[in-house]
Amino acid sequence: MKYCLKHKWAALLLLPLLVLVFVPSVSAQALKAPYESYTYDFWGVPTPAPQAYLPTKAINGIQMGVGALNNPQDLILLEETAFILDSGNNRIIEVDQQWKAIRIIDGFYDGESFEKFSNPQGFYIDDHGIIYIADTNKERIVVLDNEANLVKIIKSPHNDVRFADMFPERFVFRPRKIGVDAIGRMYIIAQDLYDGLMVLDGDGNFRGFIGAPRVAPTAAELFWNWISSDEQRRRRALFLPIEFSNIDIDELGLIYAVVSGPAEDEAIKRLNPTGEDIIHRNGFHPMRGDSAANFHKDEANDTRSRFVDIIARENGMYSALDRQRGRIFSYDNQGNLLYVFGGLGDAIGLFQRPVALSERPGEIAVLDAAGRVTVFKPTEYALLIHSAIDYYNKGNYEQSTIQWEKIARLNPNYDLAHSGIGRALFYEGRYAESMAAYRLGQDRSGYSLAFDRYRQQVIGENFNYIATSIVVLIILLVIISRYQLYSKLKTAIGQRIVDRFGETAATITYVGIPIREHGTFKAGFFRLLDSLKYSLHVIFHPFDGFWDLKHEKRGSVLSATVIIIAVVLTFVAGRQYTGFVFNERQTEYVNIIFESASVLVPFFLWCGVNWALTTLMEGKGTFKDIYIATAFALVPMILISVPLIFVSNYMTEAEGTFYELFQWIALLWSAGLLLAGTMTTHEYSGARTIITSICTVGGIAVVLFLALLFSSLLNQVFGFFYNIYLELAFR
């Protein structure tokens, strides 16, 4: 027994070692990253992605050797050192690569007196080590050399009478953030200043404003402002643009800026020195962080991203810091989302109040206003993305393709990887392969360019065959026209029908030869064909056609039903088989029932509401007449859309104007026929037809509202009885 117990304890001690040997090890990413990494696909759905950056350390002021940080607001990483703006303690801390304090700058000598900072909110260090400090509460810009000696103090330009009219009344100069370009020009974000970035030259002279965010009041705000009295307008808040929250300047002198407040489509800007926004917005979604998805936008629960800092990076990339969720969103120079990392919380890699972001080779750091700096290192995944972009920008498309292929193996759901492969293959002249890659990446613009080149290539290689086929086709058409082969064929078919059914003075005709009207299936089938053939007459001669549909019985409920079925099938086919360039739907998730209902419900609502209204407005048409006329009015949708679906697979994005033109022709043609059918069926005047049609649309809206209301009440009643059932069942 003692022997058994001894070996039992030995086995228990060896169990952890056995687990380590025989169980696959947990990745370092899973251990180190307390956040999830993801990107958004073409349809705005978050998709998981490998971690791009992992946290390596989190350092507070005590660990730096300078005591606790108090509401720090800015951070700059240099190659050998880093600077932290400890705003609450009115000081700048310089640390080495191990994040140990080297010196503290808490003021400067101005002549004989020592001046201290007062709540500085931002600073900038240029390539010569000159430090520009936005000394907020003392309403000044302080410029120090790399030894912290005073170079100059810049006061507010609004005190100059020459510029007094350019600033708001009672303006107080409170600089918050500052950036400096290669020639010493300063760009300043000032508190409560809505005219954009304040520009000062190297000597501190005021040069104006650039890049003011656009005012974008909502339609509701404009409406209420329009109907308000003068007194109400005065009491209402002005439509003021949102301020910038932070800026950065790249090596080309371009200014990257983020707008404070909830992120919208233009939350990130790239401004040239004249203030023009030249950023590329060619990604699947606007560069607004998590606002690309369906997040709440109501005032009480606005969860859209709010950017507080931005950094310019190599190869035109840039990263923006979102204080709403503590995430860093990185984009390429075309506005494509590369990766996301970070989050809110207490663990290493998470933040409580992120305020600043900075980068140096191989390292990104985030400053938390709660008093610590978190350092991140790139993973192999991020390094592959960076190298793929770098190779592409240098024209090394073969290596770029190799890198993107590695990325696609790490993350098969990464649309940008497939698009990157497509771009590289395109420039190598491998257009068919490029098209396939672009299709996987849902990149319709790239696919269109590759297809255009591929189409030119195929036509060039097969020009002789194509030209010969066209000549032969023209010759055949001439022969058919010359010898009237079509008429002879038509007569022969008609004679076979006569031989089968007999020739009488019947009311139904097919290809010009009368057929006996009889209650057989075949006779009914030919009657249906005649009615469908007549629809071609209706769409070109609407008033005569709709009159005969009603009074001469040229239409039938059966033929109208066939047309509606054809419209439904055309609509579903369009959803599924429209060319990739023009079809932005997830074809694998097309719901035939839902798509059919999207045609049938409006159709029957129109018929029902129109019948109900015209009954009260002395209309002469029955529900049957309205049903038939409405169905026949939709024939152009079939005749134009069916060939358009086929042709769309061979059109490029540049030819999309023609695609949209024919879609509008089909829609307007059907709408015109619908008005003509309503006028003829009910024997209305033109004005009364338009009024009736408008009322019909309004009636449809009322019916839908009542249906929604009834559905909501039904759900509440069901929920009430279900709760009673739960109370009785579990009491």
Domain positions in the chain are 38-378, 398-461, 518-714
How far apart, in Å, are the Cα atoms of 243 and each of 87, 198, 216, 304, 367?
A: 21, 12, 13, 17, 21
Lowest mean pLDDT among 27-36, 125-134, 606-615, 632-641: 27-36
Choice between 6 and 266, residue whose per-residue pLDDT is larger: 266
Note whether 534 and 545 are within 8 A (CB): yes
Q: Using CA atoms, how far apart are residues 227 and 526, in angstroms rounded to an integer? A: 62
Q: Using CA atoms, how far apart are residues 296 and 305, in angstroms rounded to an integer? A: 11
Choice between 345 and 30, residue whose per-residue pLDDT is larger: 345
Lowest mean pLDDT among 141-150, 155-164, 326-335, 430-439: 155-164
User: Residue 550's pLDDT is what?
Assistant: 86
Neighbouring C-alpha atoms within 13 Å toward the C-beta of 491: 5
Instruction: Find the farthest-apart pair of alpha carbons in the chain and give their distance in angstroms, rounded.
Output: 122
Is the pLDDT at 568 greater than 60? The verdict is yes
Q: Is the dihedral of CA 683, 689, 695, 699 positive or negative?
A: positive
Lowest mean pLDDT among 7-11, 214-218, 324-328, 482-486: 7-11
Q: Using CA atoms, how far apart are residues 37 and 290, in angstroms rounded to an integer? A: 12
User: Residue 266's pLDDT is what?
Assistant: 83
Is the pLDDT at 317 greater than 90? The verdict is yes
Q: Using CA atoms, how far apart are residues 147 and 69, in angstroms rounded to an integer? A: 23
Is the pLDDT at 8 greater than 80? The verdict is no
User: Residue 517's pLDDT is what?
Assistant: 47
CATH superfamily of 38-378: TolB, C-terminal domain (2.120.10.30)
Is the pLDDT at 31 greater than 60? The verdict is no
User: Residue 719's pLDDT is what?
Assistant: 86
Share above pLDDT 70 across residues of the chain, in percent, rounded to a whole number: 84
User: Residue 310's pLDDT is what?
Assistant: 96
Mean pLDDT to the nearest integer, 29-55: 84
Lowest mean pLDDT among 129-133, 210-214, 278-282, 357-361: 210-214
How would you class 190 by CB atoms within 10 Å of its CB: exposed for 0-12, middle for 13-18, buried for 19 or more? buried
Helix (H, G, I), strand (E, B) or coil at 253: coil
Is the pLDDT at 228 greater than 70? The verdict is no
CB atoms within 10 A of CB 438: 28
Query: Which residue, among 106, 146, 153, has the nearest Cα to 126 in the 3D structure?
Result: 146
Is the pLDDT at 180 greater than 90? The verdict is yes
User: Residue 591's pLDDT is what?
Assistant: 85
For 293, which DSSP code?
A: S
User: Residue 2's pLDDT is what?
Assistant: 38
Give 396's contacts (C-beta < 8 A, 6+ positions apart): none
User: Residue 296's pLDDT is what?
Assistant: 47
Q: Which two tokens stand for residue 510?
A: 């097919």
Mean pLDDT to the nearest integer, 166-192: 89
The torsion of the CA quartet 161, 189, 306, 370, rounded to 10 degrees, works out to -120
Give, to the nearest 10 degrees, the angle between helix 557-577 and helix 635-648.
20
Is the pLDDT at 297 greater than 80? The verdict is no
Q: Which two tokens stand for residue 704?
A: 């839908």
Query: 661-694 burial, b for 16+ CB within 10 Å, e for fewer?
Result: ebbeebeebbeebbbbbbbbbbebeeebbeebbe
Choice between 73 and 474, residue whose per-residue pLDDT is larger: 73
Q: Using CA atoms, how far apart are residues 259 and 208, in angstroms rounded to an integer? A: 19
Residues 493-506 pLDDT 10s: 655 655 555 544 34
